[in-house]
Structure 1
Amino acid sequence: MKITSVIARQLLDTKTRPLVEVEIRTDTGHVGLGAAPTGSSVGVHEAFVLRDGNPAEYDGLSVHHAVASVTDHIAPALVGAELDLRVLDQKMIDLDGTSDKSKLGSNAIYSTSIALLRASAAAAGVPTYTYVADLMGLPPVSTVPVPSFNMINGGRYGDLTQPFNEFLVMPYKAESIEQAVEKSVKVFKVLDQLLTEKIGHKPQVASSYGYAAPSADPREVLQILAEAVDRAGCSDIMAFALDCASSEMYDKTAHTYELNGRRVSSAELIDYTRQLSEEFPLVFVEDLLDEDDWDGYTQAVAEIPKTIILGDDLIVTNRERLERAVELSAVDGFILKPNQVGTISEALDCYSYGQDRGLLAIPSGRSGGVIDDVVMDLSVGLGVPFQKNGAPRSGERIEKLNFLLRVADSVPHCSMADVSALVKA
């Protein structure tokens, strides 16, 4: 089976930022589409996203140069080649020749990689998630992951600065994916009512579609979230999680973090989070520290035994950085975002390395999402225990939930993953 055409175009993500979409066709008539979303918070160690920098178009965010990378460089190298994901991913890596994919742009390479995966699945006549399971030598799909939902967002809101980026709920004890989704949507609606009561007006919708944090104190925000869960009658099935995104609040000169209106050290932030983990059932804490605070992460894993410490900006789905984290015992797991490293093959290699060493991999989309995100196929195909789904608002996030509901309905005897053994809370 040979590739007959590779076409690229500029489209938009769900935040109306340009992205690259690639369409691959084979001589057997099979088609694969791939589009590369990006995040609002992008770690410095992520693969390079090539944008035009022309302020006259989309404030400099257009991606015509990345489209040209596909048209002028990637397409000639792939057209006529046998359809083989790993071989062709490596061909693109070699063609680029840089450590961060800055020559061709990771958005050009990653979009093509997704299209290769999807074309391969189409040629095999199976859903992409089934193809992923087969590719990795895993058992047939029999579960869907427990979703987790971003309910309240931190950030800077006037005079208020909430340093933690995301406050999440996870319906980890729900009896089914149907119940998990329904109860989480209910909590989100009750939270709207509760915040309206507390602040005297409808809550602001934050940039990640959760509600803007009503307090600078993470403890107070968790208390409000716990009250919403209780009002919704879901306390028996819900736990919480945090994405701190602390690189956003880190002073690299003073080596301090923002917390409750003052600057604190790594040790102080770790101790504060340890206290939170003893007061609230926290399933995981993501990006507690800066993306280069390796010593701090090692300390956090040692001193916060009641929650899973996840690296996102620390690891950026990069196997070399994950290897260092393993050597230092710096994480219990990591967020799996394939666009951070730039190809599906490299992301799967990173996943395998972590799995072999007992680390959790938690797939997540990006803030600039897309409908039909390949991350969902990876979540189901790899059989991960839980994943991040964003706030239960906006089309592409609702589609992620519908994806899980659809798989659970269409795969015989499919159930929601049992994560009870993983939850330390």
Structure 2
Amino acid sequence: MNIKKLLGYQVLDSRGRPTVAVTITLSDGSLHTARVPSGASTGAHEARELRDAGTTKAESFYAGKSVYSAVENINSKIAPKLLGHSLNLAAIDGLLVEVDPTPGHQVIGANATLATSLAVAKAAAHASGKSLVRYFQPEGALLLPMPMVNILSGGAHANRSLDIQDVLVVPHAASNFAEALSWIVAIRERAASDGKAHGVTHLVADEGGLGLSFPTTDDACEFVLSQIEELGLSGKVSLALDIASTQFFADHKYSLTTSGQVYSPDQFVEEILDLVTTYPISSIEDPFAEDDWASWSAFAASAPAHLQILGDDLFTTNLHRLERGIAEKSANAILIKANQNGLLTSTHRVLDHAHANNFATVVSARSGETEDSWLADIATSWRAQQIKVGSTHGSERTAKWNRLLELEATEETEFARPFKAL
């Protein structure tokens, strides 16, 4: 079975912004479509997402955010190379690198390469008579990942209602995925209700979290912990924080807008250490800026042994940055986002290298998601142990949760519990 037709076109993500889709028609007449996500809080070292701002293709209706250039690259540069090609994902990803060998796919766009790579994977799974999850893991029990889920959102996702990006929960004591998700739903719904009862207006953030305003991170943590306690889940559900500190790092200082406090890097290391020793926090993401390597290493040397120190902007699913982080002992976990990388095979390579070096891995969605559920399949088949999709509201989020519920109901599975020591 081979590729008869490959077509790129523009669709919308969950924020109503353009993104790239690719549909592959195979020689058996079947169609296979993949849509790629896009981020709002993006690291400087991510693969390049090609948009039309500053080009003749930019249209006023999308304020330069259209992706017609990336689509044209798919149809004029990628498709001719792939027509008639057999469905070997590694070989096709290699061809995409030949089309654009620049770092980060700067010429044709990482949104163009990833959409193609994903569509090929879906088509290859069909050709082999398997689901996507079983294409990557043909046999054996599937490892369903532990969910890490937004309750409160701020930063770039919620008009800076909080200085940090997210306060999340981890149902670390749940015995299966369905139970884990039910606990999270209860916490999120109670938080929304409690906010209304206190007369607090809120917005629903890009990823479905609640945009409740709190003057400090401590206040936000205490609010979520109160919801956990009222539900009788204390000791069973821990907190996770996404600091996204690159967003408020400038002139070698960390400047918090809501609280008005300004910290030197050394002072901010102490501030974060105080935070993680005060509250039941199992994971902290991007506590320091993406190029403040010294603060990352200083914090990691003093942090509690149980703490997951998770690099997103620090690593951007980039093998070379991960290797530096391993060498400098900057963190012990990496967020895996396929669109930071641009190809499925090289994204998988980064994840495997992390596992080989005893790093935890968290497969993650983006703020601009689509209704596709492929993220759940790769997180499971790649045995990532953790998944971060956003909250429990919005069909672009529930599509991933529902796929994991489906896998638990229909496949042989086990449930990852990476925080057993808590």
Write the mapping of 1:74-223 to structure 2, written as runs, cut at 5 A: 74-134=78-138, 140-155=140-155, 162-198=162-198, 200-223=199-222
Shift of residue 160 of structure 1?
Answer: 7.5
Letter in 2 for 1:271: E
Structure 1 unmatched ranges of 5 or more: none
Q: How far apart are 1:205 and its partner, in Å?
A: 2.4
Hey, what does 2:380 align to over in structure 1? 380
Q: Are the counterparts in 1 of residues 157 and 207 from structure 2 also a CA contact under 8 Å? A: no
Is 2:300–2:331's contact at 8 Å kept on the other side of the alignment? yes
Q: Is the Cα–Cα contact under 8 Å of residues 6 and 22 in structure 1 kept in the other structure? A: yes
- Contact 1:8/1:20 (8 A) holds in 2: yes
Instruction: Render the CA deviation track for 1:193-238: whole Å, top value 9, x for unaligned.
Output: 222234x244332333211242131111100100011112222421
The alpha-carbon deviation at position 256 of structure 1 amounts to 3.0
CA distance in 1 between partners of 2:344 and 2:181 (Å):
28
Give the distance between the partners of 1:152 and 1:159, measured in 2 at CA. 12
Q: How far off is 1:261 after superposition? A: 1.6
**8 Å Cα contact 1:43-1:291 kept in structure 2:** yes
Distance in structure 2 (CA, Å) of the matches to 1:159 and 1:335: 23
Rounded Cα–Cα distance in structure 1 between residues aligned with 2:343 and 2:38 = 14
Whether 2:345 is the aligned partner of 1:341: answer: no
Q: Secondary structure at the match of 1:212?
A: coil
Q: After the TM superposition, which of the residue ranges 262-271 and 69-78 deviates more from structure 2?
A: 262-271
Match of 1:245 in 2: 244
Structure 1 157/308 Cα, relative in aligned 2: closer, same or farther at 3 Å? Answer: closer
User: Match of 2:62, as an amino acid?
Assistant: Y
Q: Which segment drifts farther, 269-278 or 393-402?
A: 269-278
Listed as ranges, the gaps of 5+ residues in structure 2 are: none
**Kept after mapping to 2: 8 A contact 1:160/1:215:** no
Task: Select between 200-209 and 228-237 the one with higher mean Cα deviation.
Answer: 200-209
2:239 and 2:281 in contact (8 A); partners too = yes
Indicate if the aligned counterparts of 1:147 and 1:387 stay in contact, CA closer than 8 A: yes
Q: Which moved more, 1:153-162 or 1:93-102?
A: 153-162
Any idea what SS the aligned residue of 2:95 has?
Answer: helix
Counterpart for residue 56 of structure 1: 60
8 A Cα contact 1:337 1:375, kept in partner: no
1:370-396, Cα deviation, whole Å (9 max, x unpaired): 112322111111122221121111111
Separation in 2, partners of 1:219, 1:169: 15
- Taking structure 1 as reference, are residues 25 and 160 closer, same or farther at Cα in structure 2, changes over 3 Å only? closer
What's the counterpart of residue 228 of structure 1? Answer: 227
Which residue identity lines up with residue 227 of structure 1 in the other structure?
A: S
1:158 Cα deviation from its structure 2 partner:
11
Given that residues 157 and 206 in structure 2 are in contact (C-alpha distance below 8 angstroms), is that contact kept between their aligned partners in structure 1?
no
1:81-104 per-position Cα deviation (integer Å, ceiling 9, x unaligned): 221111111111121121121111
3-state SS of 2:273 partner: helix
- Count how many residue pairs are aligned between Structure 1 and Structure 2: 416
Using the alignment, how far apart are the partners of 2:114 and 2:353 within structure 1?
Answer: 20
- TM-score, length basis structure 1: 0.93
Q: Identity of counterpart residues, as a percentage?
A: 27
Closer/same/farther in 2, CA of residues 304 and 158 from structure 1, 3 Å limit: closer
- The amino acid that maps onto 2:22 is V
Counterpart in 1 of 2:254? 256
Relative distance call for 1:161 and 1:390 in structure 2 (3 A) is closer
Over aligned residues, Cα RMSD in angstroms? 1.9
